[in-house]
Amino acid sequence: MNSFMSFGIQLACRRLDELGDPLLGLKSLIDWESFRPIVGGIYDNRTEKGGHPNNDEVLTIKILVLPTMI
């Protein structure tokens, strides 16, 4: 990673720390792992033809739910 990009990432992380990252608060409020057995049964992409590998079930729930909370 080049130094300019690294500097930008560090700056953004520092700003989040100063403002308080709301995602850290949600982590303590929501048990994300409890969604894994629910979603795991309906989100299954294992076929004989292969294809794109499955995404993590919890990550998929976060991608769908978190934008609606902002």
Q: Which residues have C-beta within 8 Å of that of residue 40, sequence separation ≥ 6?
A: 57
Can you say whether the dihedral through the CA atoms of 63, 41, 53, 29 is positive or negative? positive
Is the full-model pTM beyond 0.85? no
Q: Is residue 4 part of a domain?
A: no
Range of the domain at 37: 21-69
User: What total of structural domains would you count in the chain?
Assistant: 1
Q: What digits encode the pLDDT tens for the residues 35-65?
A: 888 887 776 666 677 676 777 888 888 888 8
Q: What digits encode the pLDDT tens for the residues 20-33?
A: 777 777 778 888 89
Q: Is residue 2 part of a domain?
A: no
